[in-house]
Amino acid sequence: MGIHSPSRTDVRSRPDDFFIPMRRADGATLVSLFVVLQFIIPARLVISRLPLSLSPASVVALAIGLCWLYAQFTNTLGVAKGPNPVRTLLFLYICSVLATYGVATYGYLPPQEVNFADHSLVLALASVGIALSVCDGVRSQDRLNLVLKTIAALGAVIAVIGILQFLVDVDLTQYLKLPGLRYTADFGSITERAAMRRVASTTGHPIEFGVVCAMLLPLAVHLASNAARRSQPSLRWWLCAGLIAVGLMFSISRSAILGAAGVGVVLFLGWTTRRRLQAMPVVLAFLVLIKVTVPGLLGAFYNLFTTMGQDDSIRYRTHDYEVAATQIGKHPWLGRGLGTWYAPEHQVFDNQYLLSLVEVGILGLVAFLGIFLAGIYAALRARSMSSDPGERDLGLTLVAMLVVPIIGCATFDLAAFATATALAFLTAGAAGSLLRTVRSHPAPKDVEFATLDQT
């Protein structure tokens, strides 16, 4: 007998599960690509020979936003339409930014301010575009999980980069420069505070690195606990959570600790008593480990809060209120123009709320803050509507993540830092996507009738 060679007909006659189906690229795929570029390429690198200083991630975000806009004119690309609280606030925010830009550029502006206004408008469009793409373009729990897992995994990667910077003074970001990119600043990713290294990893500043880690920590914990609940491998996500927590500590940032405290309050209120009791010894063991392995680090954090009255950074943050009040009084509703208040020409406000009032006015600030509040509402609404433990825990996790930028805006100019801003908008978009997913679930009666029909 000879060996039979399967024909084309033979292959087609085999069961469908013989083949691995190819999935088309969708919103989750594009957003995951954006996340890779945003987290891995150092924030100081932008594309050369462009009139505006745009990073590769910003260019991709603009392209993804254009894809979302194009999909709104079709019914065949699977992009969601219709009301959503996050989508509504994103629309109001971009309308306020465009109104501010129009008013600011209607009269005379110095050329430098025009350039900054143009640059800030493009970045605002990129942030809104990526958030809308998550909110409307990620249409299922599985695809949303892909985006969230990508974020958490890359968070662990940048945490490792920060850990190496802190422990052995090795800065891997200097090897991440790609052809066609240039540096926008000469300073590195490692500074000093309290006689210890203070690291930024691939982000623009140690404060930003700490705030990003504070946002990512509850996400990694959610992925680990959800995997354990489903009897899936969870060790890798616990490892991610541990690395992110260590990276947060190595930022030596008050903003990071305040953000982590906000996360802890939200999770403590939303978790069951059992999970609270399980978390307490883990947190205690982590602090003991930091105390033993990095002597003086916990003391440095303690001094940051106990010596706030004598801290130059605190005095610098509070002495500019009078200047801000004067500028706000000149343009109370729409501000003087997004991006037009810049250093060294103007005094730096290490407070995003003050800076937003000056640049985009009361309407712009309300819309900007409203994005995060709408995300919190969407996540809580999804949590209350869902009976799935994983979706309910994800809703609580997204609330905890969105609390961090709300706190961080009071301690530094968050919108001036690309990674923190991108993560905040992505999280708000994820909350909107989760609400859409939960609302798409069939009602209990529909499930019952469908079961009866099948029988």
Sign of CA dihedral 280, 285, 288, 289: negative
- What proportion of the chain, given as a percentage, has pLDDT over 90? 80
In the structure encoding, which two tokens stand for residue 77, read together?
């690309």
pTM for the model? 0.92
Summarize pLDDT for 6-45 with one digit per residue, the tens.
444 444 444 444 344 556 789 999 999 999 999 999 999 9
In the chain, % helix, strand, coil (3-state, to 5) comes to 70, 5, 25
At 16 the pLDDT is 42
* CB 153 within 8 Å of CB 147: no
Q: Which amino acid is at 138?
A: V
At 24 the pLDDT is 77
Q: What is the DSSP string of 284-340?
A: HHHHHHHHHHSTTHHHHHHHHHHTGGG-HHHHHHHTTHHHHHHHHHHSTTT-S-TT-
Phi, psi of 198 (to 5 degrees): -125, 120
Query: How many domains does the chain fold into?
Result: 1
Residue 8 lies in a domain: no
Residue 454 lies in a domain: no
Q: Is 197 helix (H, G, I), strand (E, B) or coil?
A: strand
Of residues 13 and 407, more confidence is placed in 407
Q: Is 45 helix (H, G, I), strand (E, B) or coil?
A: strand
Average pLDDT over residues 141-159: 97
In the structure encoding, which two tokens stand for residue 89, read together?
């606030």
Alpha helices, H only, 386-443: 389-408, 418-440
Residue 407 lies in a domain: yes
Say how far apart CA 228 and CA 406 lie, in whole Å: 30
Q: What does DSSP assign to residue 364? A: H
Domain of 155, in residue numbers: 27-439
Residue with tokens 């969870």: 234
Average pLDDT over residues 406-423: 97
- What proportion of the chain, given as a percentage, has pLDDT over 70? 89
Residue 11 lies in a domain: no
Lowest mean pLDDT among 346-350, 358-362, 369-373, 417-421: 346-350
Residue 20 lies in a domain: no
* CB 215 within 8 Å of CB 423: yes
At 312 the pLDDT is 66
Say how far apart CA 36 and CA 22 lie, in whole Å: 22
Q: Is 346 helix (H, G, I), strand (E, B) or coil?
A: coil
Residue 455 lies in a domain: no
At 7 the pLDDT is 44
Residue 369 lies in a domain: yes
Average pLDDT over residues 334-359: 93
Summarize pLDDT for 114-123 with one digit per residue, the tens.
999 999 999 9
Of residues 448 and 192, more confidence is placed in 192
Q: What does DSSP assign to residue 193? A: E
Summarize pLDDT for 223-267 with one digit per residue, the tens.
999 999 999 999 999 999 999 999 999 999 999 999 999 999 999
At 152 the pLDDT is 98
* End-to-end Cα, the chain, rounded Å: 47
Residue 22 lies in a domain: no
